Amino acid sequence: MLLIGLTGSIATGKSTVSSLLAAPPYGLTVIDADKLARQVVEPGTKGYRKIVAYFGPTTPELLQEESTPSPNGAPLNRAALGRRVFGDDPERRRDRAVLNSIVHPAVRAAMYRMLAASYIKGHWAVVLDVPLLFESKLDVLCGSVLVVAVRDPEVQMARLRARDPHLTAEDAANRVRSQGDVRDKARRAEARNGTKTTKKVDGIVLWNDGDKAALAEQITAAMAQIKAASPPWWHNLLLVCPPLGLAVAAYTYWQNGQINKRWFAEEERIKANL
């Protein structure tokens, strides 16, 4: 089963790409990390209790007001929680790290369960939709990576404030910065292709500064490349021969690890020469 990593940054169009990949003619199963992140902190969950215990005493507006109280507790006020964790100052970075330490393990566990179910069902490919794909090191699992990016950061900011008009300019900037520069993610995706020795497509950037039609055309071309390099018959063979599937998965993991080592070494070399 081919894992296609999908990443980007806030307001670059990643959700649009995800919805297009899930719809015909592709019909791919999409494992959405953002949706899972909301599910694992619903009232009554272990994640919810940990967040309330840590943030509740210092964030009075952490919970939404309810006309009819729920036995599991009131839903989280995501806007209030966002103000606590988005930003570059040390306190916000610390709080964001705490939140991530609560949410990320639960999301990974749910993600692996969905991947196992997709493999058993015989799906030839699954999309891992993860905003922090590289940062969480989930890219090492992926045979191909799609990055949805914009060349102009002003386009990203304008889309974010149009989508979430309640955000101030500072709030919007903090949210954009918290997910890193999307152009760096684009470079990192393209670096996956630097040493390839086969026709396998490892990294593709979908530049989304234009309209939805232009984006859809890029997706069509990208999926044609991916299917040509990783045809469904190959993944059917891996399904009926689990030892071969495990061997291929192990090789993909190792290969991606080597790509990442070269990436970080090159980044350190560039910083040293500044």
Q: Render pLDDT for 117-129 as a digit per residue (tens, 0 to 9).
A: 998 888 889 999 9
Residues 207 and 76 in one domain: no
Q: Which of 157, 176, 184 is nearest to 267 (CA)?
A: 184
User: What is the arithmetic mean of pLDDT over 19-36?
Assistant: 95
Residues 268 and 179 in one domain: yes
Q: Is residue 225 part of a domain?
A: yes
Domain count, the chain: 2
Q: Could you tell me the pTM of the whole model?
A: 0.85
Residues 143 and 207 in one domain: yes
User: Of 73, 93, 122, which residue is a domain's last?
Assistant: 122
Q: Is residue 144 part of a domain?
A: yes
Residues 176 and 249 in one domain: yes
Residue 112's domain comprises: 35-122
Residues 40 and 18 in one domain: no
Which tens digit of pLDDT belongs to each residue from 133-189? 998 899 999 999 999 999 888 888 888 888 888 888 888 888 887 777 899 999 999
Q: Confidence band (pLDDT; 50, 70, 90) for 194? A: low
Q: Characterise 123 by phi-psi region: left (phi > 0), alpha (psi -120 to 50), beta (else).
A: beta
Q: Is residue 210 part of a domain?
A: yes
Q: Is residue 61 part of a domain?
A: yes
Whether pLDDT at 69 is above 80: no
Residues 24 and 39 in one domain: no
Burial class of residue 168 (count of CB atoms within 10 Å of its CB; 0-12, 13-18, 19+): exposed
User: Of 122, 154, 177, which residue is a domain's last?
Assistant: 122
Q: Is residue 168 part of a domain?
A: yes
CA-CA distance, 148 to 130, in Å (whole number)? 11
Residues 41 and 61 in one domain: yes
Whether pLDDT at 68 is above 80: no
pLDDT at 83: 86
Residues 195 and 259 in one domain: yes
CA-CA distance, 202 to 226, in Å (whole number)? 9
Residues 268 and 146 in one domain: yes
Q: Can you give the CATH number for the domain in which 235 is found?
A: 3.40.50.300
Q: What percent of the chain has pLDDT over 90?
A: 53
Q: Is residue 236 part of a domain?
A: yes
Q: Is residue 127 part of a domain?
A: no
User: Of 122, 152, 186, which residue is a domain's last?
Assistant: 122
Residues 16 and 44 in one domain: no
Q: Is residue 95 part of a domain?
A: yes
What type of residue sits at position 217? E
Whether pLDDT at 270 is above 90: no
Residues 267 and 166 in one domain: yes
